[in-house]
Amino acid sequence: MKTRHLFLGLLTCLACQAGYAKETNVNVNTLTSEFDQAADQDVLLLESGIYSSQLSFPAGKTITLKAAPGAEVTFSGTFRNSDAGKTDGGIVLDGLNIITNDNYFMDLTYGNVKTIAVRNCTVSNIGRCFLRTNNAGNTIEAIEFTNCIITDCGANGYCFLYPQHGVKSVSVKNSTLKNYISGESFFSPKNTTSDIDLTFVFENNTVYKWSKSSSYALCKVDGKYSENSTYTFKNNIISTPGVEGQKPLIVSAKGGTLIAEKNLIDNYGGYSVSNASSSTIEDLSLETLGITQIFPDPENGDFTIVSTSPLATASTTGGIVGDPRWLKTFSQVVTLTTGSLPQNGGSTAPLSGNYEKGDEVTVSATHNYGYRFEAWKDKEGKIVSTENPYTFTIEENTEISATFTLQTLYTLNIEKEGEGATWGEYKLSPQRDNNQYEAGEEVNITVVPNSATTFLYWGDGSSENRQTVIMDKDYSFLMHYDVIPFIVGWDFDSNKNPDRSARKGDYYFKTDNTGVMYFHNGDGSSTNWGASERTFGGKTLYCARRYTDFADMDNPRYFTAKFSAAGYENIKIHSYIGTDNGCVHKGQKMQLSTDGVHYADLATLTLSGNSSEWIAFDAMLPDTLTEEMKKNIHIRWIGDTTTEMIGSAKEGDTEGFYLADVFVYADEIHVPDFTAPVLISTSPVQNSDKASANGNIVLTFDEKVQAGSGEITLNGETLVPVFGSKTVSFAYSGLSYGASYEVVVPEGAITDMSGNPFAGITLQFKTMERPRPHAKTFDAVVAANGTGDYTTIQAAIDAVPTDRTTPYLIFVKNGVYNELVRIPENKPFIHLIGQDRDRTIIQYKINCASEGDNGWDFSVNNAAYYPYSDKDGTVVKVAATDFYTENISYINTWGVDEQAGPMALAMLTRNDRLAFYHCNFRSYQDTWQTTTKNTSDRHYAKDCYVEGAVDYIYGGGDCLFENCSLYNARPGSVVTAASHKEGTKYGYVFESCTIDGVADNKDALGRPWHDAPIVVYLNTTMKRIPSPIGWNTMGTIPKLFAEYNSMDINGNPIDLSNRRTEYFYTDDKGQKITGSCRSTITAEEAALMNYDNIISGTDNWNPRQFFEPIAAPEEVKKNSNSLSWKACDYAICYIVFQNDSVIDITTECTSTIDAGQDAECFSVKAVNEYGSLGERAIAQDGTSGINEITPEISRPDFVAIGGNGSLEILVQKKLTVTVHNAAGQLVKQIEYTPGVYFIENLPAGLYLVNDQKVIVK
């Protein structure tokens, strides 16, 4: 026995010394800890699941991650290590489905790497690089891909393997590489390591649609490795570039040995090894093989090679050429060939294929735009099926074609006129080839603003920035543009022009003065700027990034614009600048030179930190410049090296400075005259009744004009002029439909450039009647019971087209939808409409607990429960703009059921122009996180209910909560935890809201989370009185935490004298920071915090129109099995109910119903153009008379809204409205029918409208 123990002990020691692998089973929850504890050569066997961990590339050991036998493993995580002191590690990945949304799968700043081996894996969806290393001077011994499929990567460019390390060996065998259509090379080192002998082996691989350009290669090393390197390519099929017409190379190198044998190269580049010491190329061709087609259907992933094909035995070993996985052996092979009739009518799948006789085969057809699938026909033209897809048993060689019928197409013609026509831009949505559209298709024509033009008006005189047309015939639209006098400009749109230095003007007034924008290193040599698109303050612009390395910031890069200004005066340089990291000098300069050598400061600017909005950086050229000097103008944008950085910056950082929208405005030198300008035309014309509710007033003269003295007004409101070549235009918005208006231009308010005054004009016009929307039903209907288009919300979201410019209407029937909902950024304009707020419920149980904490079983950090990469912990996330929802409850059931933390969001909103009407938001901690994306992002919530206990409304943005109910779920609740970025204008504004709930007079209105939070409560009814101090401390000093006119449940003023005004927090250095802010604001300040100022913005966003009241249908009558009603003004469709069940959605005014049911079982609601539901009208038996209208909780009888000198009254039913001023005097008493009305010319102040308090500015 002792001998046996000794023998076992010796074996154990020998095993340890030999480094025998230890195998350990792991799951999604244990992978990270086991990986960190693994020893060299250990194998971790992954059980089935989705692994989203970010793992640290190991040091001093090689670890294998391998799918356990029979396991289906998706690895969506990444590998990182930024410690260059770590070294001698390796990774082996075996049997995994690697799919990550990250740009980089392995991103390393690391020492020497032993091996990176990928075996039996599928790799997909990597945005840029599988491997990127960021430090030179180290090596990678070996990179290996064996028996892998690499597909659909490189959407954001770059190379698949992109190391700065010197790589000694790359081996790719028995693999398929496909659909790298936006990517560059497969292997392309960043650094020169000419002392390394690279061994590159590429054998038995299938390559299809790899690389976007002839500039790249599968192996692109050029002269970066030694001339003793070896490049071996054997038995590969390499076909078709990623971009048609390009010819990427197979290898691009200098020196070394090339061995190329038995490769079939089709429609691809060749081998380029200059100065090769030895070169052997003995490849195959289609001709020598006697074939015309390689793959049956590569577009759909079918790369089959049948055993009878010459390719099956053409390799150097007598076996298959290409990836062996595609070889198929048949006993009785039959072929399928499909086609399309006409050829441009659509496509079929598969295009062709080989099958075993008796196999079941499915073919499908997809029509092209303008066609529809009709039938499948055999080669004799006989119809064999009208099903699509069509499944049949193949018994012989078969040829089958999908036939398509041509639809009626109409043409949309757009013409431009005016002095700005050359540069005027517009967008068609959707955009179709040759502007031809199918009958009945809705098309939006939208003005695209730019800095060179002003859109004036359409051919019919209207001036809204968008027109919508239903294509029922050919249409033509005329667009009038004026030019803003300029010389040259750059918008840096890389889609129009990819040049990133020596770029001529994107806009130029004269063809002999196009200007040039340069980008220089600190030593004056030319280089390329970074092409980018950035959003600051809600404004997205194409831009050029100045990216000086931190080490060179004392001699930084700079932009220079060169142009001629001869013949011009009043020359203004306009630009926007922005920053997004700390590696930027606080001081920025715009400099002028007339010789390109000697520069003087033209303007300077001091930055305080990263940009919350684009910063205008403008300057006027001095009047002292002579005409000769103006012929050679150089403008330079450069950092002031005498100033410090705006934030922390360190070695390895690069400058985050962006330049955008550079324009040189100027007037041609004017010749004085003594004649007053003559008015040629106006838009709208005098006494027009077709003016737009939003648009421009345009006065066109016989010469260029400028501002004189005196104000130009529209119904008493001052207008702001924009002067063009011979026009002056005035933008306006929010006019009432069918109303009269008057523009007064006093004498002398406009003059010509010599100062001769225009005599003035009074222009009178009426706005058009409210446009009637086109009839249509919802774009999608969701019903949990299967009676809609989809059974889940997310399925409907997934089907929404991307990048819409008009609302996509989704109706959600009553039901509980237990799911997570994600609305991505590329799906704007979704309107999600519920049937009934309390019975249309989107809910899920989820939180952000850490392992070991309460709630871990339902945590986003628990990969077994939540196998996704985002960790927001929210039921619904809206990342898109222009989202609107009504009548839906959003509930996190963790918070509601458990009444406990941790974070458990019901809603996360992260963009601009998001509106919520009559919705519920329920959880406990962090119920709703508002946008933290841009300081000017706007949210509008009306008549909503928000419930929670801890910071249940938190985040940033300008958010107006109007007439909302805030419910504190426990004693000591805290409503808000704002973290508004510096530069936010309004923050959280609660107008006429109610605070209710469980209370013990210890509740807080909010606490300051981060940055510079702003929270203001206006006219709030506090049914439960908060603590006397009102506000708590947290992590910063608030910019403004204040109230105005807070009331108790009986309308009595609340004592605000003890509200907190002094705040403190402890910073990350342990220092106590103190500060103060006001706790109350004045009536004048409160009046400025209104809907128009907070919500309208520069784009005149008006979400109140989404739920504008629409009248209930009248004369709803039941006759046997038919229900009928009178059409409602402005309705797009009607929803028919039987009791509370939706039985029909129709654009007609009739519906077929169950004749056996009583009339009162049926009701109808009208739907407005934004999807909002009107009042319910109950049916009667087929008799005349007024139907009973059931009031909806979601609709008050009326809404009064204060504006600039006006009140807007939205009336739901016939109603007498009284208006009293603050002194109690009766101002107006009017009887209204349902609709929208305006009471204008009111002095600023507080008014009572049927006892509702409203502030007029």
Residue 1035, pLDDT above cutoff 90:
yes
Segment 918-928 mean pLDDT: 98
Chain centroid to CA 626: 48
Q: Environment class of residue 142 by beta-carbon count within 10 Å: exposed (0-12), middle (13-18) or buried (19+)? A: middle
CA dihedral sign, ordered 521, 526, 532, 538: positive
Q: What is the pLDDT, as a whole number, of residue 682?
A: 95
Segment 666-681 mean pLDDT: 94
| DSSP labels, 168-180 | SEEEEES-EEEEE
Go through the domains of the chain in sequence order and give each one's CATH number. Answer: 21-306 (2.160.20), 330-406 (2.60.40), 409-462+473-483 (no CATH), 486-668 (2.60.120.260), 679-767 (2.60.40.1220), 1108-1195 (2.60.40.10), 1196-1257 (2.60.40.3080)
Q: What is the pLDDT, as a whole number, of residue 4?
A: 40
In terms of pTM, does the model score above 0.95? Answer: no
Residue 1206, pLDDT above cutoff 80:
no
Task: Report the run of H or E that residue 695 belongs to, with start and end.
Answer: strand 695-701
In tens, the pLDDT along 442-481 reads 999 999 999 999 999 999 989 999 999 999 999 999 999 9
Q: CB–CB of 550/654 below 8 Å?
A: yes
Indicate the residue type of 502: A
Between strands 938-942 and 815-818, the pairing is unpaired
Other beta carbons within 10 angstroms of residue 645's beta carbon come to 18
Q: What is the pLDDT, as a whole number, of residue 17?
A: 43
As a whole number of angstroms, the distance between CA 374 and CA 394 comes to 22
Q: CB–CB of 696/729 below 8 Å?
A: yes
Burial 1228-1253 (b: 16+ CB within 10 A, else e): eeeebebbbeebeebeeebbbbeebb
As a whole number of angstroms, the distance between CA 1048 and CA 1023 comes to 6
In tens, the pLDDT along 1093-1129 reads 999 988 889 999 999 989 999 999 999 999 999 999 9
* Beta partners for residue 470, in sequence order: 442
Indicate the residue type of 1000: D
As a whole number of angstroms, the distance between CA 508 and CA 518 comes to 16
In tens, the pLDDT along 849-894 reads 998 899 999 999 988 898 887 889 999 999 999 999 999 999 999 9
Q: CB-side exposure of 615: number of CA atoms within 13 Å?
A: 18
Segment 338-359 mean pLDDT: 93
Cα 129 to Cα 96, 105, 433, 1069, distances in angstroms? 18, 7, 34, 38
Q: Environment class of residue 972 by beta-carbon count within 10 Å: exposed (0-12), middle (13-18) or buried (19+)? A: middle
Other beta carbons within 10 angstroms of residue 597's beta carbon come to 8
In tens, the pLDDT along 715-766 reads 999 999 999 999 999 999 889 999 999 999 999 999 999 999 999 999 999 9
In tens, the pLDDT along 384-411 reads 999 999 999 999 999 999 999 999 999 9
In tens, the pLDDT along 541-591 reads 999 999 999 999 999 999 999 999 999 999 999 999 999 999 999 999 999
As a whole number of angstroms, the distance between CA 1104 and CA 1094 comes to 13
Q: What is the pLDDT, as a whole number, of residue 1216?
A: 83
Q: Is the peptide bond before 342 cis (omega within 30 degrees of 0)?
A: yes
Of the candidates 613, 570, 605, the residue with the CA atom closest to the CA atom of residue 584: 605
Of all residues in the chain, what percent carry a pLDDT higher than 70? 96
Residue 511, C-beta contacts closer than 8 angstroms, at least 6 positions apart = none
1094 secondary structure, DSSP code: I
Residue 824, pLDDT above cutoff 80:
yes
Q: Is the peptide bond before 801 cis (omega within 30 degrees of 0)?
A: no
Average pLDDT across the chain, whole number: 93
Segment 772-790 mean pLDDT: 95
Residue 516, token pair as written in the block: 């040039």
Segment 164-178 mean pLDDT: 98
883 phi and psi angles, rounded to 5 deg = -95, 140
Of the candidates 370, 368, 369, the residue with the CA atom closest to the CA atom of residue 402: 368
Of the candidates 198, 199, 263, 193, the residue with the CA atom closest to the CA atom of residue 224: 193
Residue 163, pLDDT above cutoff 80:
yes
Residue 1138, token pair as written in the block: 């039987």
Q: CB–CB of 403/345 below 8 Å?
A: yes
Of the candidates 519, 490, 484, the residue with the CA atom closest to the CA atom of residue 506: 490
Confidence at 1228, pLDDT banded by 50, 70, 90: confident
As a whole number of angstroms, the distance between CA 868 and CA 208 comes to 30
Share in percent of the chain as helix, strand, coil (round to 5): 5, 45, 50
Identify the three-state secondary structure at position 786: coil
Q: CB–CB of 620/571 below 8 Å?
A: yes
Q: How many residues does the chain have?
A: 1257
Identify the three-state secondary structure at position 61: coil
Residue 902, pLDDT above cutoff 60:
yes
Residue 977, token pair as written in the block: 């935890």
Identify the three-state secondary structure at position 34: helix
Residue 962, pLDDT above cutoff 80:
yes
Residue 362, token pair as written in the block: 């499915």
As a whole number of angstroms, the distance between CA 623 and CA 702 comes to 27
Q: CB–CB of 1177/1167 below 8 Å?
A: no
Segment 110-124 mean pLDDT: 98
Confidence at 1204, pLDDT banded by 50, 70, 90: low
